[in-house]
Amino acid sequence: MAQSLTHGETALPADWRDLFALTKPRVMSLVVFTALCGLLAAPGEVHPVLAFSSILAIALGAGASGALNQWYEAGLDAKMKRTAGRPLPAGRLDPQTALQFGVGLAAFSLFLMLFASNWQATLLLAVSILFYVFVYTMWLKPRTPQNIVIGGAAGAFPPLIGWVAATGSIAPLPVLLFLLIFLWTPPHFWALALFVRSDYAAAGIPMMPVVAGEQSTRRQILFYALIMAAAAIAPWPLGYTGALYGWTAVVLSAVFVLLSIQVGTRRTGEGDTMQPEKRLFAYSIAYLFILFGAVVADHWWPL
């Protein structure tokens, strides 16, 4: 449970900036972008107002998930340098406000999706919020080093929801895009976990480097990078995308695998600055942005 971090009977009303920070805006930007790409890559045309409203609903749903995640993990966040400055552990916001904000935002995002789009997309959005909050945050994350692997499904939903919001049905391409983000999540988060390992250990979160050790994590980063590359390229030979996406995926995935080989095959000593891990983490974000951009570009201008 979230720890009570209120401090005094005369607590000030929450500043809106702290409520905004609760939604994890940086994570939301990737969610919005992948959802938008899913929606734009779908066949047929969507009314711009309905497209905007659907993406807004997905963004609000992601923000609600982030807020509920921070509400539940306030105690853990306080123990980690990277997250200690967040509104709840820093004591700038009381847990009750955060909980009400998160639940209210989740409910509103579902209402907006239902109003602007269809029940299929609304159902998927509800599943993704519930999966992130209950399955990932509350169940998997504190219990198993596989938390990121299974929990990655929550972050993989946006392009699928975007597509379903546009078409009302599921097709193979958005499922492959779901699979791509699902397989991208472990190398992305484990690269981060390698250079903030002490933080996770201090908070008692069983991240892979803490439980299985650094070498095992490095091998698994490489393993997931290889199958992720296969999933990224797959839409091209399967005929769901054209050569523009195909070559972009081949080149970008080759670089991803090379960076993963660098991370996967090295050993570190005392005082290592973890530059290859930081490089892989930064590249993995750019990788996803460019690859999803290529899905849309390929749909609009097929070679």
Segment interacting with another protein, rule: CB under 8 A, options 48-56, 128-136, 137-145, 169-177: 48-56
At closest approach, how far in Å is the CB of 11 from another protein?
Answer: 9
DSSP 44: S
Q: Which residue in this structure is represented by tokens 């169940």? A: 139
**Of residues 240-279, which lie at the interface with another protein (CB under 8 A)?**
none
Binding mask 16-35 for another protein (x = CB under 8 A): x-------------------
d(CA 172, CA 187): 24
Is 228 in contact with 213 (CB distance < 8 Å)?
Answer: no
Segment interacting with another protein, rule: CB under 8 A, options 8-16, 80-88, 193-201, 281-289: 8-16
Task: Locate 55 and state its tokens.
Answer: 């993406």
**Of residues 111-130, which lie at the interface with another protein (CB under 8 A)?**
115-116
The residue from 15, 96, 255, 303 that contacts another protein (CB under 8 A) is 15
Binding mask 49-68 for another protein (x = CB under 8 A): xx--x--x------------
d(CA 292, CA 186): 18
Q: Which residue in this structure is represented by tokens 């409520």? A: 19
| Local structure of 260: helix, strand or coil | helix
At closest approach, how far in Å is the CB of 126 from another protein?
Answer: 19
At closest approach, how far in Å is the CB of 210 from another protein?
Answer: 34
* Residue 44 interacting with another protein (CB under 8 A): no
CA end-to-end span of the chain, whole Å? 53
d(CA 95, CA 89): 10
Task: Locate 123 and state its tokens.
Answer: 């159902």
* Residue 13 interacting with another protein (CB under 8 A): yes
d(CA 246, CA 243): 5
Segment interacting with another protein, rule: CB under 8 A, options 11-19, 75-83, 164-172, 270-278: 11-19
Is 205 in contact with 199 (CB distance < 8 Å)?
Answer: no
The residue from 1, 26, 44, 47 that contacts another protein (CB under 8 A) is 47
DSSP 89: T
Chain positions contacting another protein, by CB under 8 A: 7-10, 12-16, 47, 49-50, 53, 56, 115-116
